[in-house]
Structure 1
């Protein structure tokens, strides 16, 4: 497992550095406009895209066939991609939540509830995106699964662009379901737990798909 993670780490450094730059840009923009939901959620989507991109590179280089000759099981191959996604999403959640905490403290408007909402939002979006996309790629491959994968990306982006105009950091300006989520962080925590459960269920599903797939 460590070898698979190390291989993916080197591939991230070589092929996915543009994603890191985009995440950095959106992260900085979210600090300037903390209420923009799209600025907060899109970096989490990019964390999920990293694992999908690495699977595409693996398939292109025929790494999957070569890996069959090595002492790694297909379960370990799947689990390594999910573990990588988890580490990226969890790390991003912590970093952005800490950054918003620091900026809020400097501005004198620190709000622990808002910081918790940021953490849960990034955590939930990232894990939900990975939970939906990765099983399709493990079942059909990067080429056949590309259409479904792109459709999921479009749905996520359209949804968060539409909600991006709401200032989620200002509870007083919200109404209806948005106010409920902003005023009651327990709902965001529950949402994060549900996303984590879906992520684990997705990993088991991907294991089954990949075990039966002909390479």
Structure 2
């Protein structure tokens, strides 16, 4: 497992570090967006980091690593698990960048409330994990070429949802995260999301190799 994770980290650094740079830029732009109470660019930064597992899996399939891995002393659980662990790492990185951006926005503008902080961190976590929950199992089952069409659909849906959240002027967030229950809602939603993430993980293990048959 350690070797698989190192391989993925090396690939991320050499081939996809521009995505990390883009996410950092989005977070910085989000600092200025928070002057008006908008966290759109922070959410987009989290979304960018969330595509790491799918990108790495596409590299594996295009390079035929999935075939080469049959000769390695690793199990399919480890091969799939490395991608899901990268996804969790991407979520942790997106949360750290979001917290730094929110702290900077609070120092500059003083517009960051506890409710906005909770809502933003929750939304960033969801956007980082959501795509992988849906797309990784589909990729293992049908291959990247077919799964990418679902990926494009997910981008469109998420863009619409983020647009609705931004255009609501905070009304939508207030209805989802009431001032006195935001922490409880955060815990419940995160637990549910992680449970779905674990379910997606098991489904990917069950479907591993099906696309090659």
Q: CA deviation at 1:212?
A: 4.6
Unaligned runs of 5+ in 1: 169-173
Secondary structure at the aligned position of 1:208 is classed as helix
Whole-angstrom distance in 2 between the partners of 1:118 and 1:17: 24
Summarize the Cα distance change of 1:38–1:106 in structure 2 as closer, same or farther, 3 Å threshold: closer
Tell me the secondary structure at the aligned position of residue 145 of structure 1. Answer: helix
For 1:206 and 1:138, the matched residues in 2 are separated by: 6
Matches within 5 A, 1:161-172: 161-168=163-170
**TM-score, structure 1 normalization:** 0.87
Aligned residue for 1:41, secondary structure, equals helix
Does the Cα contact within 8 Å between 2:30 and 2:38 map onto a contact in 1? yes
Q: 1:156 to 1:108 in 2, by over 3 A?
A: closer
Contact 1:139 1:209 in 2 (8 A): yes
RMSD: 2.0
1:87 deviates by: 0.5
The answer as to whether partners of 2:84 and 2:201 remain within 8 angstroms in 1 is: yes
Judged with a 3 Å threshold, the aligned counterparts in structure 2 of structure 1 residues 167 and 188 are, in CA distance, closer, same or farther, namely farther
Distance 2:67 2:31 in 1: 44
The residue number in structure 2 matching 1:171 is none
Q: Which residue does the alignment assign to 1:122?
A: 124
SS in 2 for 1:36: coil
**TM-score under structure 2 length normalisation:** 0.88
- 1:66 correspondence with 2:68: yes
Cα pair distance change 1:2/1:152, threshold 3 Å: same
Given that residues 137 and 200 in structure 2 are in contact (C-alpha distance below 8 angstroms), is that contact kept between their aligned partners in structure 1?
yes
Distance 1:195 1:51 in 2: 17
Secondary structure, counterpart of 1:67 in structure 2: helix
Q: What corresponds to 2:84 in structure 1?
A: 82
**Offset from partner CA, 1:19-71 (integer Å, 9 cap, x none):** 11221121011111123243122222212211111111111110110011000
**Which residues of 2 match residues 41-120 of structure 1 at below 5 A?**
41-109=43-111, 111-120=113-122
Counterpart of 2:33? 33
Greater Cα shift, 22-31 or 4-13: 22-31
What runs of 5+ residues in structure 2 fail to find an aligned partner? none
Of 193, 200, 203, 1:202 maps to 200
1:6, CA displacement in angstroms? 0.4
